[in-house]
Amino acid sequence: MAKNLVIVESPAKAKTIEKYLGRSFKVLASVGHVKDLPSNKLGVDIENGFQPEYITIRGKKKVLDDLKKEAQTAEKIFLAPDPDREGEAIAWHIAGELGKKNMEKIKRVYFNEITKKGIQDGIESPVDINMDMAMAQQSRRVLDRLVGYLVSPLLWKPLKFGLSAGRVQSVALRLICEREEEIEKFKPEEYWTIDGMFLLDNDENRKLKARLEKKDGKKIKVGKKEEADKVLADLKKAAFSVTDVARKTVMQKAPLPFSTSMLQQEASRKLGYSAKRTMMTAQKLYEGMDLGSQGPMGLITYMRTDSVRISDEAAKEAADYIKKEFGSDFLTKGMRKAKEAKVKAQDAHEAIRPTAVERTPQSVEKFLSAEQYKLYKLIWERFVASQMADAEYDQSTITITGGAYEFKAQGKILKFPGFRQLYIEGDEEAQKDAEAILFDIKENTPAKPESFDPKQNFTQPPARYTEASIIKTLEQEGIGRPSTYASIISTIQEREYVEIMEKKLRPTELGRIVNRLLVSNFPSIFEIKFTAGLENDLDKVAEGAVKWDEVLDEFFKSFKPVLAVAEKQFSVNLTLDSDCPKCGGGLVIKYGRNGSFAACSKYPECDFSSDYERQEDGTIKLIEKPKNESTGIVCDKCGKEMVLKKSRFGEMLACSGYPECKNIKQYVRDEEGKVKLVEEMTAEIETPCPKCGGKLAVKKGKRGNFIACSGYPECSFTANITTDAKGNISPEILKVDENVKCEKCGSPMALKKGPRGRFFACTAYPKCKNAKPIQTLEDGTITVKE
């Protein structure tokens, strides 16, 4: 029997670690948190120092029982959840569950990398649980519960049940909504640019394009066409020559290795990955990948960090590789240092880097999925490039003067590639070199204008946030931390407050309304500086500088009076700048089962309501509600016509006598678009069973008709009903991603269908009840929604 027990979070990590520790160690996984606040009540004793009421998470009793059983016979117990605040809280909760009799043999260990050396270093350096870090996590959890549990119900009455407000997520939503308002209010201003093509010293081979920059030594602004025409008239009279040539060497610094936010931003720009997808993939690379004969091994260091520093050993390993592959000239001349960030919540860890530079992306590609390989390649190349020399350019700036006007042309030529030999940053501007000037030019060289090209331009509104830019803004403002950026963005999307359109984050109507209500009723609580100040306070708790309950007490002093006012009179100012077309009263935005709509403020005296759409400038345009589509089909229950109606679940065939008659039917459209009842289409299905090759038939179930194999029970194939090109009924054959795994227990996820549509669910149900929304990729594959 094993003498030592090691407890980690992930089953995948447990497998990797057990390989290195040998038979005297037993490695078990807690599968994340084991205790949390209850979901059906506040779970925080506000009157008694904000003490949390922890309960065992549903499904974790057996996990804890197994851990307690192993702990009884173990000589030493090493708690090794992830090396951050969440991990510290998990270790603390597990230690509490193992009981006082085991306390003397419990130690905390940290694995910054899941390699033989990283694991041995951790086991050889055990420490006590860092209660300051655990309390920092606890105070964050309690803060989030206080805001979420007490504020969210206030949204239910004016909007709909189940909406939620998050302490940090609502600030991110506010940023996105305010940016959208800036765009809508933006008034473009006209301006003109004038480029000139100049022939130098009458040499046809020496032509130079330059832009008008100054008049009388001052920056020139050309606002209207009339102004541009006047400038052009002056230019045609002037004689031009080169009046200044400035040459210098400029350096482009090698990039720093990745911190968490830098990785999320770069993966978004270069790979198109969401923050959530990046972190899930990085977690797998950290926990360990099976490398064939080498066995499971962690490929990167811990992926939640604010730090960009690296160990001396890692720097030497990179230097040896660079000298071997590129030569000594490509090696950095000194260690780079980053500017001090506002916060360093996770500075105990190194930057994100490969655990071994010798494991090049090409050498492990066959063991990784496509997305794992791309992310590992990004991390590996970024780290190696960070230890390479700066890129060197020869830059020249040429001034051409004619009368009162000055044109400038600037170009640079790459003299020494340095780190760019391996890596170019994803920021588009970092990849654009100015137009190179390849010939030597001296001052006083005649410059004959061949043509002038005036162009009308308009100032552009601020850009919508991308995932990369919102993460950058959150980090700059001190909102959230490395471990929270991905959840912040995914949460506001899952709540349908924000949607992604053309890779840009845009608030939905629901998101706008929620933000408007929260900001108008809690202006300070969801304010950027206030939220950032709270984050700094939590950092001080982690450092042991302040007590966790003092931070909560200070927060609640400002939160309580605002909450009391909101609970008495929740301000709902959702008026529109339009009058009711029915009675002339004001219009307000309301929210129903099918989303937001405009309604008369004089309801119930006036029952006018209408759908609406938001214009580019943010104004509201009323639109007519779609009429129910006539089908000519008679309801078999009441004799009235069946019509196609729009519902929150999509289009449905229902009786026009609703609500007296609630009959609904399954239908399909033929090749002419005509509606037909499925139950009347009893013709033999031409498509053979894709599972056994037998015949398929329409069958009736609790939720309507479906297609099944006539060979049941030997063949259990079933499918939803669709139509082929000829309008005949056929099975709906879906291309499902079979590689989707449950991130909670590691079991395969399967595509299921419920009352609200399809979703992925864990096959370990009911032991694991994890479920995820779906998305359809470009090739038609159905997979988990990011």
Catalytic residues: 302
- How deeply is 300 buried, as exposed, middle or buried, from its count of CB atoms within 10 A (0-12, 13-18, 19+)? buried
Q: What is the DSSP string of 342-370?
A: S--TTTTS--B-BS-TTS-HHHHGGGS-H
Contacts of 540 by beta carbon, 8 Å cutoff, 6+ apart: 546, 551
Contact criterion met (CB below 8 Å) for 111 and 350: no
Closest-CA residue to 496 (of 513, 483, 479): 513
Q: What single letter denotes the amino acid at residue 562?
A: V
| Cis check: omega of the bond before 361, within 30 degrees of 0 | no
Q: What single letter denotes the amino acid at residue 201?
A: D
Measured on CA atoms in the order 131, 132, 136, 142, is the torsion positive or negative? positive
Radius of gyration of the CA atoms of the chain, in A:
32
Contacts of 194 by beta carbon, 8 Å cutoff, 6+ apart: 211, 212, 222, 228, 231, 232, 235, 452, 453, 454, 455
Extract the tokens encoding 675: 């509606």
From CA 343, how far away is CA 85, in angstroms rounded?
Answer: 15
Contact criterion met (CB below 8 Å) for 325 and 385: no
From CA 108, how far away is CA 653, in angstroms rounded?
Answer: 61
Strand-pairing partners, residue 195, are 211, 453
Closest-CA residue to 387 (of 418, 409, 341, 411): 418
From CA 772, how far away is CA 786, in angstroms rounded?
Answer: 9
From CA 171, how far away is CA 518, in angstroms rounded?
Answer: 10
Kindly list the distances between the CA atom of residue 531 and the CA atoms of 169, 172, 535, in Å, as whole numbers in the listed order: 11, 11, 6
What does DSSP say about strands 218-219 and 207-215: parallel, antiparallel, or unpaired? antiparallel
